[in-house]
Amino acid sequence: MSSIFLCLPESITPEQFLSEYWQKKPLLIKRGLPQLADMFEPEDILGLAIEEDASARLLTQAATKQNGQPQWQLKKSPLTEIDFDNLPEQWTVLVQNLEQWSPELGQLWQAFDFIPQWQRDDIMVSYAPKGGSVGKHYDDYDVFLAQGYGQRRWQLGKFCDKDTEFVADEPIRLFDDMGEIVFDEILEAGDVLYVPPKLSHFGVAQDDCLTFSFGCRRPNLMQIIDSMADIATNDSDLFVPMLLPQAMQSSGELQANSIEAIKSQLLQLLQSERGDHIIRQAVSEVVSKRQYDALMPEETLDTDELMQALTEGAILQADYSNRLIYSQTNDGMTLYANGQRVDGLDDATMSVLIRLANGEHLTHSDVTGIDPDDLSEWLENGWVWVDFAE
């Protein structure tokens, strides 16, 4: 694949985007992803939606409520060809985790290298015929809406919050009032619209169209707390009962000062070196976990075939359907892959994996110091992808 430029207007630097737009206000990026234009056609996505291992949803506006508003209906995977027979005029099919099905598409994440890899979620595609939509809604995460085929009209309105009222008895979160419309434009193939979290938006297909959503999100506190608890279970010292000051009190009462003492010891743990280790590992495991189960490749290269391909000019790249991240510790770099810490790596191997995690394209000369069987294992694990020379 040719060099991929950052998905930003020429007049805006990554630093400006992060300080002025990120999670604050929307941005239209004309021709932000020209590589995406016509990379797929509607038939490709419709065929993918009925694959056995696909994560897909079919959303239709089939009936009408008593108040005259459309009634939405939702069907989740597995979908079949029968589900697409006799559809109403307005419908949409959504397919998640497109990186898993197309490494070439996954490489377009490089256009968003100003966003850390660990904050990337997945690429979702939405196909709709003319008039199709998923209604007025908002997301809790950042999203870059990239038009890949046809045209879609986007309207943006107010920022929403926990008090936003949704339409009752619908299978998805929809609302009627978007407030003042602050953006109303039609995106063409290659155009990208950045939408920050909780900003209401409404997209309507102007013709047969494919919209690709590059979603970015951070972990929630419950995920981190759960992960910390799992990691802490391996620390036997934490199972020793606390020593707490005792004062006279009613036998049935749990006093506030006892709770405060327990809280104080908990905070001391979190702020200690041991706490730093637990938190770092918990966060690293959470953000490196895959959201979707890995697909088993129908066929892959054996070690000899892989080395032959690299010798003939093939490129080794990170497979963006997987999660490969690293973090700095007092003992050096630690690598995590798909929610697991990877131990026992020598310096040369760690260096190459860090380069791959950072999105570098490696040639045969870059990996001469790596055991070919290790490279083959990375390919089998889905950590890397081979881009064959044209």
Q: Indicate the helix (H) or strand (E) that contains 101.
A: helix 98-101
Judging by beta carbons within 10 Å of its beta carbon (0-12, 13-18, 19+), is residue 206 exposed, middle or buried? middle
DSSP β-bridge partners for residue 28: 193
3-state secondary structure of 213: strand
Asked whether the bond before 34 is cis by omega within 30 degrees of 0, the reply is no
From first to last of its 390 residues, the chain has per-residue pLDDT tens of 457 899 999 999 999 999 999 999 999 999 999 999 989 999 999 999 999 989 999 999 876 665 556 678 899 999 999 999 989 888 999 999 999 899 899 999 999 999 998 999 999 999 999 999 988 898 999 999 999 999 999 999 999 888 887 777 777 777 878 889 999 999 999 999 999 999 999 999 999 999 999 999 889 999 999 999 999 999 999 999 988 877 777 788 888 888 999 999 999 999 999 999 999 999 999 999 887 776 666 667 899 999 999 999 999 999 888 899 999 887 789 999 999 999 999 999 999 999 999 989 999 999 999 999 999 999 988 899 898 865
pTM to 2 decimals? Answer: 0.89
Amino acid at 11: S
Helical ranges in 301-387 per DSSP H = 303-311, 347-357, 372-381
User: Of the candidates 9, 144, 128, which has an alpha carbon nearest to the alpha carbon of residue 57?
Assistant: 128
User: Of the candidates 326, 324, 312, 313, which has an alpha carbon nearest to the alpha carbon of residue 379?
Assistant: 324
Instruction: Determine the angle formed by the axes of helices 303-311 and 372-381, rounding to 10 degrees.
Output: 100
